[in-house]
Structure 1
Amino acid sequence: MLLALLLCYSGFTALCLSMDRHHAELLGHKPTAGRRKLLKLAGWSLLAVSPWVLVSRIGWGLGLVEWFAVLMLSALLLVLLLPYRPRLVLALAGLSLLASPVAVLAQS
């Protein structure tokens, strides 16, 4: 479940950064069109991979239920951190991408 949480949080953060307002708030400048497309592709790809982690481990029934819980938790974390601790959003996204390979090894 940790790997799915890390992937969902990173995916939502990438989608958040693909928006002009959030990108400017977090990084200080608006994204270019190419960067915006790349961030959207990365965000949707991470979100698309995340259910596979849970479904392959515990099956479709409980895997999808757990995936929706992880989606809500990661989105809630991002929504609560963005207005109050915007720099922490980027730090957690970077840490989650770095911790994902460790979570893969711990899962197997």
Structure 2
Amino acid sequence: MLLALLMCYAGFTALCLSTDRHHDELLHSKPSPRRRLGLRIAGWLVLTVSIWPAVAVAGWGLGLVQWCAVLMFSALLLVLLLPYRPRLALILAGLGVLVSPVAAFATL
């Protein structure tokens, strides 16, 4: 479930950065249309692929339920961090991307 959590958080962060307001707040610049589109595609792709580790660990019946819980938890974490600790939200997403390969090998 750790891999699904890391992927969901990274996906939601990418979707968050695809908006002008959050991109400016976190990275102090406006995103170009190409970057905005790339972040949206990457965010939705990572969120879609995050179903795989949940289903691989627990099967379709329980895996989808656990994936929904991880999806809600990662969104809640990002929503709670953005107003108070925006830099921490961005750092956690970066760390999540770096730790994801280790979590992928741990599930095998």
> Normalising by structure 1, what TM-score?
0.98
Gaps of 5+ in 1: none
2:5 is the alignment partner of 1:5: yes
Alpha-carbon separation, structure 2, partners of 1:46 and 1:36: 15
- Residue identity (%): 69
Per-residue CA shift, 1:60-101, capped at 9, x if unaligned?
A: 110000000000100000000000000001100000000000
Counterpart residue number, 1:43: 43
Counterpart residue number, 2:95: 95
2:64 is the alignment partner of 1:55: no
Aligned partner of 1:40: which letter? R
Aligned partner of 1:66: which letter? Q
Alpha-carbon separation, structure 2, partners of 1:57 and 1:83: 34
Q: Runs of 4 or more off by more than 6 Å in structure 1?
A: none
**Residues matched between the structures, number:** 108
Per the TM alignment, residue 12 of structure 1 is displaced from its structure 2 partner at its CA by 0.1
Alpha-carbon separation, structure 2, partners of 1:56 and 1:76: 24
Aligned partner of 1:13: which letter? T
Per the TM alignment, residue 58 of structure 1 is displaced from its structure 2 partner at its CA by 1.4
> Normalising by structure 2, what TM-score?
0.98
Per the TM alignment, residue 25 of structure 1 is displaced from its structure 2 partner at its CA by 0.5
RMSD across aligned positions (CA): 0.6
